[in-house]
Structure 1
Amino acid sequence: MEVLSIQTFKEKIFDFEKNKEWVFNGSRPAIVDFYADWCGPCRMLSPVLEEIATEYAGRVDIFKVDTEATPELSALFGVRGIPALLFIPTSGEEPAMSSGFVPKDSLQKAIAEIFGINP
């Protein structure tokens, strides 16, 4: 899972300096994990996301955003608590946000509902 800088976020997810309206730059559905190293629930979620990244390889991209290193990205999406997951469909729809720890089965259910992709 790649940790995104502001520059890589603009390239792979959304160029917020160029576009005012949501335009996703990815070719596959994506999940962006907003986290911090000191956050206990974030550390619990990380191995779950690793499993999801493996199971959905080539179908769903998983990225991470360090809220301490890039607070402007958290502010852009109104992230107030972490972990926070941003689910980005490729259908042109607005992304959906979830806050707090998400167990694997709930994550799989969200991927099926939002992206239409089953494990």
Structure 2
Amino acid sequence: MAGAGVFEFTDANFDQEVLNSEQPVLVDFWAGWCGPCKMIAPFVDGVAAQYAGKIKVGKVNVDQNGATPSRYGIRGIPALLLFKGGKVVDQIIGYVPQEAIAEKVEKLIA
């Protein structure tokens, strides 16, 4: 369910791809059965395209990767976490318009 320029993060590669990333990272926690996750997916893809080269964007399927969502206390999806320097610096829980996501990303890369 990842678009162009959107990475697939897993329990196995999360630390390397997200925590050790040189760039800020937007992580979308989602599941195939989640309606709001499907609705927000094009927004996440749009942000990935809009900020290509400035931020890394990826998704974690919570049904296939249980350890990472558990580690970050993800109880509801969609949940977007923004990482900088290996730490969570912001989050968005639930469905929001693309502008709201872009606004958080702007602050992250400023």
Q: Which amino acid aligns with 2:39?
A: M
The number of equivalent residue pairs is 105
Identify the match of residue 111 of structure 1 among 96, 101, 105.
105
Q: Give the distance between the partners of 1:79 and 1:93, measured in 2 at CA.
A: 15
Q: Which has the larger radius of gyration?
A: 1
Asked if residue 7 in structure 1 is aligned to residue 12 in structure 2, the reply is: yes
| Alpha-carbon distance in structure 1 between the residues aligned to 2:88 and 2:33 | 30
Rounded to whole Å, the distance in 1 between the matches of 2:58 and 2:82 is 11
Distance verdict in 2 for CA 1:94–1:32, change over 3 Å = closer
Q: How far does residue 7 in structure 1 lie from its aligned partner after superposition?
A: 1.5
- Unaligned residue ranges in structure 1 (runs of 5+): 14-23
Quick one: which of 38, 45, 51 aligns to 1:43?
Answer: 38
TM-score, length-normalised on structure 2?
A: 0.87
In 1, distance between residues paired with 2:105 and 2:31?
23
1:71 CA drift (Å)? 1.2
- Share of identical aligned residues, percent? 30
The partner residue of 1:82 within 60, 77, 82 is 77
Q: Given residue 102 of structure 1, which amino acid in structure 2 is its aligned partner?
A: V
Structure 2, unpaired ranges of 5+: 1-5
1:98 equivalenced with 2:92 (yes/no): yes
Deviation at 1:62, TM superposition (A): 0.3
Report the structure, 1 or 2, having the larger strand content. Answer: 2
Q: 2:58 aligns with which of 53, 59, 63?
A: 63
